[in-house]
A and B are shown apart, each in its own frame.
Chain A
């Protein structure tokens, strides 16, 4: 089945630094990937839609200059949290939807736990 690999699974960084999170579709191509943020005991909040070869579409209230998204190929999207602050600490999850084939939904990565100290 479809597998999405997310890396790193956890990261601790100092306030003011930037962190890059990778999301790879391992056995399928995805023109569209999605980035979510999940707070403890809460739901997944969609941050942005990552489109291969074009600019990402951000949800209302999400700072695009702070959360940089790059979708350079059909199998890789990256989320960079720039100038991270403690309030950016959260669980970030990506998901991908195959380009072709039966639309069986979305495959999710295992998530990245970001802690900013």
Chain B
């Protein structure tokens, strides 16, 4: 079955530490990939997306992600986290073969950054 898996459910880091959140998907064919962030009490916001081209994608707030097709992965990274990065992070996949445009989300990762 098609699915999106985020390995880390809850991550706790100190400020200035580096971050990497894993995301793997199990779709065949061409996909579009997204990372969203949900700050406490707020709606989902797009961090970055990958459609095609350079597999290293840079997003807002210093985040980046690398698409590795052979590993079906799209891991999110940030070299130095801040307390304000405390939030819920969701990886999402859109399969272009389905033509519905629907996004399927991973389980989410709660990031807690300690000051």
Contacts from A to B (Cβ < 8 Å): 32, 34, 36, 41-46, 49, 57, 93, 95, 97, 103-106, 108-111
Contacts and interface: CB of A to CB of B under 8 A. Distances in A.
B56 interface: no
Interface in B73-105: 90, 100-105
Most buried by B among A45, A97, A108: A108
10 contacts: A41-B110, A43-B107, A43-B108, A44-B44, A45-B105, A95-B103, A106-B34, A106-B103, A108-B43, A111-B43
A105 B101 CA distance: 10
Contact of B108 (A36, A42, A46, A106): A42
A93 to B, nearest CB: 7
A43 B103 contact: no
Given A109-B43, A110-B42, A43 B105 contact: yes
Contacts of A46: 102-105
B46 A57 contact: no
A110 B40 CA distance: 11
Contacts of B45: 108
- Interface SS, A side: strand
Contact of A44 (B42, B46, B90, B101): B90
A4 to B, nearest CB: 8
Contacts of A109: 43
Contacts of A93: 43-44
B105 A44 contact: yes
A108 B92 CA distance: 13
B90 A108 contact: no
A103 B90 CA distance: 19
Nearest to A41: B110
B102 A34 contact: yes
A32 B99 CA distance: 12
Nearest to B51: A103
A112 B103 CA distance: 19
A27 B81 CA distance: 33
Nearest to A34: B102
B46 A42 contact: no
